[in-house]
Amino acid sequence: VTLAERSLAAVADHIKSGKARRIVVMTGAGISTAAGIPDFRSPETGLYANLAALNLPEPEAVFDLDFFKKNPKPFYVLAKDLYPGTFHPTVSHVFISLLASKGLLAQLFTQNIDCLERTAGIPGELIVEAHGSFASQRCIDCKTPFPDDKMREHVARAEVPRCIRSEADGDDRCDGLVKPDIVFFHEALPSLFYERRGLTETADLALVLGTSLSVHPFAGLPDMVPEPVPRVLFNMERVGSLGTQADDVLVLGDCDTGVRKLADALGWRDELEAKWRE
């Protein structure tokens, strides 16, 4: 399939003609900025530019396991701003949900930890949360799960939770640090990521939205999509190898605007807006 014209209209035709039935979507923090959640690397507004007050050796230390063991407080200051529960999915999330409801979504790979994919109604089995999420948490030493309600209270006060395992349970007291099941640097990605990443090789269309593609192994996913399968980038800036293959389409600018244009070209715009307002 050659996209003679590198445009959204050509992408829409590819979908409407029935040639794209196994769409793989890859996302990052940029799809959630419109929901009010900062991304990481945008120069002025990104979290890494705004961590100076926390006296970190470098901004990424906030997600570094060795640093967390020595000083967990900065992570919990950040967690207070990122914690799910008060945010509403964006038009981009809802568009992915629309693809799922039309049976066209083969898999969504997200780096986001905000759980907005599930909130937007994308079925759990179609989501790979490659960097984990805030949905659960446990002790980093003995792995004892920590209750959700207690976690919410701790995060709201930016307090570091400690393991609940005690002598009363017939065990030794633990008191280890509790951490959400988010993938920190030096930690393995969930096995589901490795089980499912091969789906990028069988995709008939790839959409990449809101990511700087700077963290591996996630950043390698778009390169697994075989030519000449079209890859479409919805992002503020050009990233990774997107734009180097003949059938790549670059939709630069904010992703909700780009997605709305694609929905227009597909004749899905009213459905998209209605679902977004639900």
142 known member of a binding site: yes
- The minimum distance between CB 132 and ligand OAD, in angstroms, equals 7
- The minimum distance between CB 213 and ligand OAD, in angstroms, equals 6
Choose between 174 and 207: whose C-beta lies nearer to ligand OAD.
207
Residue 255 sits in the site that holds ligand OAD (CB under 6 A): yes
Measured between alpha carbons, how far is 271 from 48 in angstroms, rounded to an integer?
Answer: 36
Amino acid at the residue 195: E
Token pair belonging to 261 = 């244009």
Question: Binding pattern to ligand OAD, positions 201-230, x when CB under 6 A?
Answer: ---------xxx-xx---------------
Q: Which residue bears the tokens 């939205």?
A: 209
Measured between alpha carbons, how far is 104 from 236 in angstroms, rounded to an integer?
Answer: 25
Question: Binding pattern to ligand OAD, positions 134-153, x when CB under 6 A?
Answer: --------------------
Which runs of E-coded beta strand occur in 149-254?
A: 178-182, 205-209, 231-235, 249-252
174 known member of a binding site: yes
Q: Three-state DSSP class for 181? A: strand
Per CB under 6 A, contacts with ligand OAD among 24-53 are 28-30, 33-34, 39-42, 46
Whether 186 is catalytic: no
Give the interface size with ligand OAD as a residue count (CB under 6 A): 27
Rounded to 5 degrees, φ, ψ at 247 are -100, 10
DSSP character string of 73-119 = HHHHHHHHHH-TTS----HHHHHHHHHHHTT-EEEEEE---S-HHHH
Residue numbers annotated as active site = 131
Rule CB under 6 A: which residues touch ligand OAD? 28-30, 33-34, 39-42, 46, 63, 111, 113, 131, 182-183, 210-212, 214-215, 235-237, 239, 254-255
